[in-house]
Amino acid sequence: MQSLSPEIFREIVDRLETGVYAVDMSGKILYWNHGAERITGFLGPQVLGRRCGESILAGNDGRDPQVEAQTYKAEAGSTGGAPREQIQYLRHRSGHVVAVRQWTMVMRDPEGRIAGTVTVFSEAPVIAERAMPEHGQDLDPETGAVSRTGTEKYLRLQMDIAKQQHRPCGLIAIRLDRMKDFRAAHGSEAANTMLRVLNQTLNDMARRSDVVGRWDGECFLAVLPGCAMEPLERVAARMRRVAERVAIPWWGERLTTSISVRLTIVNQDDTVESIETRLSRPETELGNPEKAEAGA
């Protein structure tokens, strides 16, 4: 059977909608196809020859693909170089974070030595699917998020269900810290862009039953029906890790801001006001050992 020539094979891979890129052992990007351009927003000429850590591919947990390549080389001897599958979060050129499912395998030189890695990736619809219930046109005009009115309406509905059915409902408040300073330094347009990008990132991580809406000027509230404290902690930790990777391109810079996350569980005697008060307390901050008491 006649095999494909390298030129024809490369032309096929070049045109795939699935992302494919190759990295050498120093972390330098050697290959970047059309699918990688489509998914990340970075064009080939913008990334080829650059190192992955230059705000291009570093994932939500801060791991640099250069380190990943070295780690994979060390593991390849025991695994035989079998592809490794994982969910990763890549920062899009526009600033938001994209969830992808990726497979990484070793790349060898003509002598058979490991020379780097090849990664194939595609959007992860199970995680990245926008899963917000319909709220008509009740949206915040600055960010496109569900408005405070719409978020509160959904929260009250889930509070009633939690009380009637004794079903847990988790709440996560994600706040952009020091946004007044950010606005003063970069202007309202940059601040609103940051809020829009964060809203897109958070909603891309939501389940179909969840709502992530704008709660106040710098804060988004995620309402997670059926979510008890233990899974709520995991979701909140993932949201914070991913949100901290958000960075918007702005006049030649990439602007970031710090994130704080608080969480709690709806109680039987809760009101919107009591929940709002509780989420403003230090003990509900993610990582605080006393936070579980706030939802007890």
Task: Return all residues near 272 (Cβ < 8 A) that are at least 6 apart.
Answer: 152, 155, 156, 159
Q: Are 44 and 236 in contact (CB under 8 A)?
A: no
The total of other beta-carbon atoms located within 10 Å of residue 87's CB is 15
Which token pair is 214?
């704008």
Tell me, what's the pLDDT at 75? 54
The distance from CA 159 to its chain's CA centroid, rounded to whole angstroms, is 27
Using 50, 70 and 90 to split pLDDT, how confident is the model at 129?
very low
CATH of domain 130-294: 3.30.70.270
Tell me, what's the pLDDT at 128? 36
Place of tokens 């199970």: 126
The whole-model pTM stands at 0.69
| Single-letter amino acid code for the residue at 130 | R
Tell me, what's the pLDDT at 133? 44
Using 50, 70 and 90 to split pLDDT, how confident is the model at 29?
very high
Query: 133-178, pLDDT tens digit by residue?
Result: 454 458 888 888 999 999 999 999 999 999 998 899 999 999 999 9
Average pLDDT over residues 274-287: 90
Query: 206-234, pLDDT tens digit by residue?
Result: 888 899 999 998 999 999 999 999 999 99
Domain 6-127 has CATH 3.30.450.20: yes
Give the start-to-end residue ranges of the domains of the chain.
Answer: 6-127, 130-294
